[in-house]
Amino acid sequence: MINNQFKKGELYSFITGKASTAIARRLQKNFKETGIEITIEQWSVLYHLWKEDGQSQQQLCEATFRDKPSITRLVDNLEKSKLVKRVASKNDRRSNLIFLTKEAKALEQKTMDVANRTLNEALEGVTNGQIEIAKEVLQMVYDNLK
């Protein structure tokens, strides 16, 4: 019986992810107020493309922890918004490489500023030591289940 003193009332918030839901809503609100017209899901894809442009959809699946249909449709919508382009891979004709447009590149700094600000709002009053431990726990949970 692992962690058997973990009480039910506490269980609920862990499972339902109220904290990350709250962060996501606030980030979306802050994007909107800053005039940034993307969803946080689209932002999470752009985030990985800013780190490395020209990734395949499969790579984006792994990076964003989403399945293939989700990425297909996020890329569809990002393409409609002129933020990315699909380019067929020359090595492997099954594969699309996704490239940022100029418009998307211009968004990077602005959105990262908003994201950092949002995180500061979220973590106000939390010590760095606490954050480190919370981060470790979330990583362990992810590793246990992924």
Partner DNA sequence: ATCATATAGTTGTTTATGCAACTATACAAA
Partner DNA sequence: TTTGTATAGTTGCATAAACAACTATATGAT
Q: Which residues of the shown chain bind its own copies in the complex (CB under 8 A)?
A: 1-3, 5-6, 8, 10-27, 40, 44, 47, 64-65, 112, 115-116, 118-126, 128, 130-131, 133-142, 144-146
Cα(19)–Cα(94) distance, integer angstroms: 39
Which is nearest to 45 in space by CA: 73, 25, 80? Answer: 73
Smallest gap from residue 37 Cβ to DNA (A) = 10
Per the structure block, which two tokens stand in for 137? 């726990």
Smallest gap from residue 117 Cβ to its own copies (A) = 10
| Residue closer to DNA, measured from CB, 127 or 144 | 144
Per the structure block, which two tokens stand in for 43? 């932002």
Which is nearest to 23 in space by CA: 127, 141, 110, 124? Answer: 124
**Residues that bind DNA in the complex, under the rule CB under 7 A:** 21, 24-25, 28-29, 32, 39, 41-42, 56-58, 61, 66-75, 77, 86, 89, 92-97
